[in-house]
Structure formats: structure tokens, C-alpha cells
Amino acid sequence: MSLRSLAICILTGMLLGGCAGGSRLDQDQDKAMIAARANTQLGVEYLREKNYELAKTTLLKAIEQAPDYATAHDAIAILYSQVGDTEQAEKHYRRALKLNPDNADGHNNYGQFLCSIGRYDDAEEQFRTAAGNPYYKTPQIPLVNAGVCMASKKDAAAAEKYYRQALDKDPKFAPALFRMAELTFAAKDYLRTRAWLQRYEEVGTPTPESLWLGVQAEAALGDHQAWGNYALQLRSKFPESDQAKQLQEWEHERRAGH
């Protein structure tokens, strides 16, 4: 799952979990908050469908109805980040966190945004804040995101540190296992790549990325049968993926080389 998709999934969970409201809101304020929540949920669905125009209209309506509803600001921040409006995205991320500074999901989402625009150190701080929240049930998510961000920064040691911290929290956390496989492959430590992929396959679902990595690692190790098995799965399960196209080109080059 991509970081963007993960952010939307987390946001959906925030909506389903509800938001704490004041117990003494008058009737009009209560109706406005109910409407804002409904519009935020609808806006997130439009966002999931990549219907950005309707998502923006609906989320702006939610903010108009309840200007202090942090989840609406977080949702529209994700929207703005996806369409490349970084100024508005940052404005709403900051607003959401000012309204709800203890929201670990909000810090995680903001961290993903900061990483996407190359502000790696600021992103790392947000991920660490999210993971350090003692009430957060899934600290392994921001820890893996911190690792991905450090890998983007070309800091493999820091990336590995965060992936291992995520695995300390949950030894079967599939995204961390896969990222460790990626990291060891980049270091040309193919035996460890194989080991990490095997651990990933025990708990995770095959993806185009994991199968293509398996092809490359096993080819580097000289195990024709193993990489052939990965290649067969990639072609049969994900024939239209970019990785299947890469496989086709790679196999063509191998044949031409012989």
C-alpha cells in the first residue's frame, strides 16, 4: 500500500472512531458538527475515488460548518498534498495539529507530507512524535514511515534503525519486513534479502513489488528455479503491473545477452 493510500485509510479510521465534542454545545452547534462530520466522511470517500473537485467542495463545506473540526482540516490537507498545493496542505496540517496536538495519526500524516516535499528532518520529528504517543495503538506505522523517509534521504542506517524499532513493536509487521528486504537488496546482501522476503511471505500478501524483488534477489543468488517461481507469480497475478513490464524487459535482456 502506498503512503498516500495509507494516509486515507488512517483518516477513515479517525472518522469511524468519532471525535470528542463539547458536552454543552447548543442545538445549532451540535447540528453543525454532525453535518461537518458527515461532509468530512463524504469528502474522504471522494478523495479515495480521486474525485478531487467534489472532495474539495465537500471538505470546505465541512470546515465552514465546524471551523475547529481537526479531522476536516487533516482531510483537506491530504487532498491539497495530493494535488500539489503544498502551501494549503501545510496550512491545514498545522491547523489540525493545533486543534488536536495529541492526534498521533495527524502527526503521521503531516510527516508523510513533509517527507514527500523533501523536508526529511521535519518529517522524522513528526513520525517520532506519533510513535512516541503512549496511547497510540500502532506505533509501528509511523516508525516504518520514518524508515522510508530516511531511505529517501539516503540514510540507510537510520532507515534500518526505524524498521527494526517497528519490528520490536510487532515482529510480524509485513511492511517493515518488506522494507528490510528492500534495504538489504540495495546493499547487495542478497542472502539477507531472501531471508527477509521469506519472513514477509509468512505474514504478508504477495505484491508486484515483493515478487519483482524476489526475482532480482534470487537471480543474483543464481537460483533459477526460485526466481522463475517469483516471475511466474508476477506474470499470472499482476500482468498489467509496472513490475511485470520490468520483468519482461529484464528477461529479454537476459536472452539477448546469451
In a domain, 27, yes or no: no
In a domain, 223, yes or no: yes
In a domain, 190, yes or no: yes
In a domain, 253, yes or no: yes
Domain containing 202 equals: 171-258
User: How many Å apart are CA 149 and CA 25, to the nearest integer?
Assistant: 41
∠ CA 199-203-205, rounded to 5°:
110
20: confidence class by pLDDT, cuts 50, 70, 90: very low
Centre a 10 Å sphere on the Cβ of residue 104 and count the other Cβ atoms it contains: 23
pLDDT per residue over 122-165, tens digit each?
Answer: 999 999 999 999 999 999 999 999 999 999 999 999 999 999 99
User: How many Å apart are CA 101 and CA 137, to the nearest integer?
Assistant: 17
- What lies within 8 Å, CB to CB, of 62 at 6+ separation is 35, 36, 37, 39, 40, 43, 69, 72, 75
12-16, 27-31, 81-85, 180-184, range with the lowest pLDDT: 12-16
How many domains would you assign to the chain? 1
> Which of 165, 136, 129, 159 shows the shortest CA–CA distance to 146?
159
Say which CATH number the domain at 188 has: 1.25.40.10
